[in-house]
Structure 1
Amino acid sequence: MVAMLGLLGLRIFEACGANIADLGEEHGHRVLKVRGKGGKVVLVPLPPVVARAIDRAVDERDDGPILRNARGARMDRHAATRRLKHLDQTADLRIPKMHPHMLRHTFVILDNLTAHNGKATRAWEDRNRVELCFTPIYAAWANPIEARFRPLRTFVIAGSDRSNHPALLRHLHNYLRWRNANARHPEGLAAQRRERARIRSERQRRWGQSATLAA
């Protein structure tokens, strides 16, 4: 429940109304079909940590609601509030008036691409209770997603001889399926550590300055 509210930004009625049958796959990513306000249906990609949390909640069931209360029935907002208050007391957070809506605020780290700061992006930010956190200019080391790109180039693009873009796209989807199913694979983690080390080594290097002068 916490992962669905906090990491996906779902409303409490959207999370409680989600069924096992709403889980699926699209373009190599696991997705969840969410029914929002006004009956609007959208596909929400599931990060690996959320997918694992949902798998634990489903517990090998084939149908029914994803989230259940202590009696095994569908969880409602009252049961969700009681669960959050219990977690608050267990973790000794001491947050007054703990309720599910507090988890909907999401922070997104992104670079300074012009499209990221447009009117459409800002409108989406306001609608979905999202706060955009821009990294400093020429500071790729500050964006955690940068460490994901090197393994993508290594496993998908490097040494490839694809005849066309659709073939390369299929190979990319295959990698994403493997990556989501093996998020903690030693080979993938090692590649990410190497890329993070390379990016951090450029932290004090000015744009266009050689490595010798920067040192």
Structure 2
Amino acid sequence: MLDSYSPPLTAKKDTRVGDWAEADNVELAYAPTNSSWLNRIEARFTALRYFALDDTDHASHREQGSVTRRSVIWRNRHAADQRLRAVVDRANVA
């Protein structure tokens, strides 16, 4: 998904990206500019940033990666929690 992908109007396509995609059998999905709400992963990134990254001062990238992994693991273990589902559903609507 190419979210807010905006090459110059004169370019028919970004040949490097297009060549890579064709060579690796990847289909590029272009979302309209300024429409990140169409990309459902955005809500997950927002939650991850809120719970694991905002207002933190990690000593290293390793520590930040550890916090990120723990957040994802926690989220996956609690995916069926109805309160969490309600928060995710609200984020997807907004």
TM-score when normalising by structure 1: 0.34
The unaligned stretches of length 5 or more in structure 2 are 8-13
Partners of 2:88 and 2:15 in 1: CA distance: 31
Aligned letter for 2:68? L
Q: Deviations over 1:63-106 (max 9, x none)?
A: xxxxxxxxxxxxxxxxxxxxxxxxxxxxxxxxxxxxxxxxxxxx
Give the 3-state SS of the residue equivalent to 2:29 in structure 1: strand
The unaligned stretches of length 5 or more in structure 1 are 1-108, 199-215
**How far off its partner does 1:166 sit?**
2.4
Q: Deviations over 1:140-197 (max 9, x none)?
A: 1111111112210222023434333321121011112233344333344333223223
Work out which of the residue numbers 98, 101, 110 in structure 1 matches 2:2: 110
TM-score when normalising by structure 2: 0.67
| Residues 1:152 and 2:45 are matched in the alignment | no
Structure with bigger strand share is 1
Partners of 1:177 and 1:143 in 2: CA distance: 22
Change (3 A) 1:155 1:186: farther
Aligned letter for 1:166? R
Partners of 2:25 and 2:74 in 1: CA distance: 31
* RMSD, aligned α-carbons: 2.6
Structure 1 stretches of 4+ with a deviation exceeding 4 A read: none
| Residues 1:129 and 2:21 are matched in the alignment | no
Pairing of 1:59-74 with structure 2 (within 5 A)? none
Aligned letter for 1:137? T
| Residues 1:195 and 2:91 are matched in the alignment | yes
Pairing of 1:31-180 with structure 2 (within 5 A)? 109-111=1-3, 112=5, 117=14, 119=16, 121-180=17-76
